[in-house]
Amino acid sequence: MTCAHDRMPETSEPRFHADLLLRVLGMDASGHPFSQTAHACDISDRGAKLSGLEMLLTRGDIIGVQLGEKKARCKVIWAADAGPVQKIEAGVRVIDGQPCPWQKERINQRTEATAPIPRSVPVLQDKRKFHRHRILFPIEVADGQSVGIGLHMQTHTADVCGNGCYVETMIPLPVKKLLNVSFWLNAERIYTTAIVRTSDGGVGMGIEFTGLDEVTQQQLQEQIETLALQAAPLRRAKAAF
pLDDT of residue 171: 86
pLDDT of residue 215: 95
| 191-207 CB burial, b ≥16 within 10 A, e <16 | ebebbbbbbbeebbbbb
What is the average pLDDT value for the chain, to the nearest integer?
A: 81
Selected residue with higher pLDDT from 122 and 130: 130
CATH of 138-240, one of 3.40.50.720, 2.40.10.220, 3.30.360.10, 3.40.50.1100: 2.40.10.220
Distance CA 202, CA 83 (A): 22
At 162-208, the pLDDT tens digits run 999 988 888 889 988 999 999 999 999 999 999 998 887 777 888 99
Q: List the chain domain ranges.
A: 4-111, 138-240
CATH 2.40.10.220 fits 4-111, yes or no: yes
Q: Is residue 188 within 8 Å of residue 232, measured between CB atoms?
A: no
Which three-class secondary structure state does DSSP give residue 106? helix
pLDDT of residue 5: 37
- pLDDT at residue 81 above 60? yes
- pLDDT at residue 63 above 80? yes
pLDDT of residue 13: 74
pLDDT of residue 148: 57
pLDDT of residue 123: 45
Model confidence at 240, pLDDT cuts 50, 70, 90, reads very low
pLDDT of residue 204: 82
pLDDT of residue 175: 87
Which three-class secondary structure state does DSSP give residue 47? strand
Give the rounded percent of residues in the chain with a pLDDT score beyond 90.
37
Give yes or no on whether 4-111 and 138-240 have one common fold: yes
pLDDT of residue 128: 56
Model confidence at 92, pLDDT cuts 50, 70, 90, reads very high
Selected residue with higher pLDDT from 30 and 51: 51
In 3D space, the residue among 92, 22, 19, 84 whose CA is nearest the CA of residue 57 turns out to be 92
Which three-class secondary structure state does DSSP give residue 55? coil
pTM equals: 0.52
pLDDT of residue 9: 42
